[in-house]
Structure 1
């Protein structure tokens, strides 16, 4: 798939996900014809494009946006966190079909607030709306989404996490990693910038496979601090690399989605997108 086609698909899917989410939140049932018309496509072309990217039809995808589905995920799949860690997945995690390798700052480097560090940034299309991506020469260190927020707010949010770093706009430097991250066609290295406890929590999140979920209490237990549920929640909320470090897969014990730093509709869309791709039956190549 060429770059122009990928960018086109990002825009179509981002708009379609937003339309489906907004209509379902308003108690409406989107139709294929209606969605296709709003995308400026024929129903057949829209269904084909959507299914190729998400893995299932728009109608099937809508089922994954419900709270009941989140509860189902929690009841059936959250226990895989311990199994994943026990299997040696800590440090690398399966995200879609993508393996992410990561390294972290030392505590001393973190305490200096990014002093002496050059962070490159750029805006990109994503399946979940405009995405601000930041990275060092070692890997992606920040990712935020502007579907529910002003782009300036997202920029300020990420920049203030490393107040002494030098920020340079250079989307071309980051672009290969970003295409791999959203296209699941390669490896996207991460450079984690956080306190040691935060990094331990983020490492646990990386062990939660795509299409599965966990709880804050499960994370607290597997990292060896079962009483630190509140601190775990804070660390999850401070995750600087949303989506790649999958904080959207952390739910409340009740099965409720809870909040999300970049907006609850974005979290719902991410969970639905992953669940649809995970559960889709592969198309025969014959």
Structure 2
């Protein structure tokens, strides 16, 4: 049976699909509420509770125009100067807490022999998550609709590991990425099975600040291989840690949102949610 949080997310995802297809018409509150068979009042309240902002502002955040403006107006130097701005709160700079450690060649090769993996199923504002961790950090964090299927995908990555269904500190820290206050969060560690190129791309993703966007081409240049846009896209698609490694912040050079491993409406939702958090932070710190 679906949880209320999952039902609410599915409602919001349906609305976002509608917005993505009809943003040029700037649909009204009544039109959006009609998509999920709620009164405008109840829809607005649910949406604001979920996203922290009104449907109207959220529509602006995820529109194609907004994406283009982000790419045009926000240059790479913003990451370096954001520390000194009035909006450089912990919520937007949570990526600074994330460190990546690649698995050793032996761990990579032997399918996780003697590797102990803690895992559990969690809820989030964007749907259900399977989060798994080793003693060194998070090794898997993925949205799912089929619990058994997602767990099987995890086991296929590390077929010889030992699995325990348990929530540990690494998982608890990772899930706090969805909280508004990260001021006392411990370092989030990632323990990943990847090639050197994939790790290089994922580290570049971590340099995209909270609420900002980049493109495949920009990332390719950032890692010193400007002709590797397609390979960068493949590496991004191989990311197994949702949200913490923010592959949702990469869009097409045209400004279109593009695809996402865990469904495009969810990508739009996370982009819009991050923008909403920045807006709330700006209002709180004028």
Q: Same fold (TM over 0.5)?
A: yes
User: Match for residue 91 of structure 1?
Assistant: none
> Are residues 1:239 and 2:234 paired?
no
Gaps of 5+ in 1: 1-6, 89-93
1:162 aligns with 2:154: no
Cα shift readout 1:6-30 (whole Å, capped 9, x = no counterpart): x98x658635532421443564946
When residues 258 and 19 of structure 1 are mapped into structure 2, their CA distance, relative to the original with a 3 A threshold, is closer
Describe the SS at the equivalent of 1:120: strand
Q: 2: distance between equivalents of 1:218 and 1:152?
A: 37
Give the match for residue 225 of structure 2: 225
Residues 24-78 of structure 1: CA deviation (Å, up to 9, x unaligned): 3564946379859x6989948x75675466342222112223333222222223x
TM-score, normalising length: structure 2: 0.77
- The superposition leaves residues 237-274 of structure 1 with CA deviations (integer Å, 9 ceiling, x where unpaired) of 10111111001111122222221111111111111111
| Aligned: 1:68 with 2:61 | no
**TM-score, reference length from structure 1:** 0.77
The count of residues paired between Structure 1 and Structure 2 equals 268
CA contact (8 A) 2:29 2:40 kept: no
Over the residues paired in the alignment, what is the CA RMSD in angstroms?
3.5
The list of structure 1 runs, each at least 4 consecutive aligned residues, that deviate by more than 6 angstroms after superposition, is 38-42, 85-88
Residue in 2 aligned with 1:124? 122
Separation in structure 1 between the aligned mates of residue 270 and residue 156 of structure 2, nearest angstrom: 25
Write out per-residue CA displacement over residues 122-149 of structure 1, whole angstroms, 9 at most, x where no aligned residue. 1111111111111112222211112xx4
Q: Name the stretch that deviates more: 203-212 or 104-113.
A: 104-113
How far apart are residue 172 of structure 1 and its match?
Answer: 5.5
- Label 1:280 to 1:167 Cα distance change in 2 as closer, same or farther (>3 A): same
Give, in whole Å, the separation in 2 of the partners of 1:122 and 1:83: 37
What residue is the counterpart of 2:173 in the other structure?
Answer: 177
Q: State the alpha-carbon separation in 2 of the partners of residues 257 and 42 from structure 1.
A: 27
The separation in 2 between residues aligned to 1:95 and 1:155, in whole angstroms, is 30
Name the counterpart of 1:262: 262
SS at match of 1:253: coil
Question: Which position in structure 2 is the counterpart of 1:134?
Answer: 132
Aligned counterparts of 1:34 and 1:173: Cα–Cα separation in 2: 39
Deviation at 1:235, TM superposition (A): 0.8
Determine the structure 2 residue equivalent to 1:276: 276
SS state at 1:280 partner: helix
Give the match for residue 17 of structure 1.
12
Matched-pair contact (CA < 8 Å) for 1:19–1:35: no
Q: Deviations over 1:79-137 (max 9, x none)?
A: 32x6647999xxxxx76353423231344132333222112111111111111111112
Which aligned pairs between 1:42-61 and structure 2 lie closer than 5 A?
A: 43=41, 50-51=47-48, 54-61=51-58
Change (3 A) 1:23 1:42: closer
